[in-house]
Amino acid sequence: MRKRQSVTGPRFATPSLRGHPSLSKSSRFLPTMRKTSILAVCALLIGACGTDAEEEPTTRSSATSTPIESAGPSGDATSSSAPAPSGTTESDDPVATEEPLTLLVVGLDADSGSQRADVTMLVRIDGDREHLTAMSIPRDTWVEIPGHGENKINAAYAFGEEELLSQTVSDLYSAEIDHVMAVDFEAFTELSSILGPIEVETADGVVTLEGEEALSFVRERKSLPAGDFDRVRRQQAFLAGVSQSLREAGPAELAQLAELAGEYIEVDGRSGISAQALLLSLLDDAAGTEQVFFSAPHAGTGWSEDGQSIVLVDAEETQQIAEAYESDTVAEWVEESQAETLDSRPVN
Kindly report the average pLDDT of the chain as a whole number.
74
Higher pLDDT, 312 or 46: 312
For the segment 76-85, what is each residue's pLDDT rounded down to a tens digit?
A: 433 333 344 3
Mean pLDDT of 11-39: 40
| pLDDT level of residue 37 (50, 70, 90 thresholds) | very low
| Enclosing H/E stretch for 48 | none
| CA atoms of 50 and 64, how far apart (whole Å) | 10
| Enclosing H/E stretch for 16 | none
Mean pLDDT of 82-102: 56
Answer whether residue 16 is part of any domain.
no
For the segment 234-276, what is each residue's pLDDT rounded down to a tens digit?
A: 999 998 888 778 778 888 887 887 776 665 554 544 334 455 5
For the segment 171-200, what is each residue's pLDDT rounded down to a tens digit?
A: 999 999 888 877 777 777 788 888 879 999
For residue 199, give the nearest of 137, 243, 252, 156 by alpha carbon: 243
Q: What percent of the chain has pLDDT over 90?
A: 41
For residue 143, give the nearest of 5, 336, 322, 342 by alpha carbon: 322
Answer whether residue 346 is part of any domain.
no
| pLDDT level of residue 22 (50, 70, 90 thresholds) | very low
Number of neighbouring beta carbons within 10 Å of residue 199: 16
Q: What percent of the chain has pLDDT over 70?
A: 62
Mean pLDDT of 101-123: 79
Residue 346: pLDDT over 60: yes
Answer whether residue 310 is part of any domain.
yes
166 neighbors 137 (Cβ within 8 angstroms) = no
Range of 326's domain?
34-52+61-337
Mean pLDDT of 215-240: 92
Q: What is the pLDDT of residue 265?
A: 52
CATH at residue 170? 3.40.630.190
Answer whether residue 313 is part of any domain.
yes
Number of neighbouring beta carbons within 10 Å of residue 263: 12
For the segment 270-317, what is each residue's pLDDT rounded down to a tens digit?
A: 334 455 565 666 666 677 778 899 999 999 999 999 999 999 999 999
Answer whether residue 160 is part of any domain.
yes
Answer whether residue 12 is part of any domain.
no
Answer whether residue 8 is part of any domain.
no
Residue 101 three-state SS: strand
| CA atoms of 96 and 102, how far apart (whole Å) | 13
User: How many structural domains does the chain have?
Assistant: 1
For residue 123, give the nearest of 293, 283, 265 by alpha carbon: 293
Strands 101-108 and 179-184: parallel
Q: What is the pLDDT of residue 249?
A: 81
Answer whether residue 344 is part of any domain.
no
| pLDDT level of residue 135 (50, 70, 90 thresholds) | very high
Structural Rg of the chain based on CA atoms: 19
The predicted model scores a pTM of: 0.74
| CA atoms of 226 and 26, how far apart (whole Å) | 13
215 neighbors 185 (Cβ within 8 angstroms) = yes
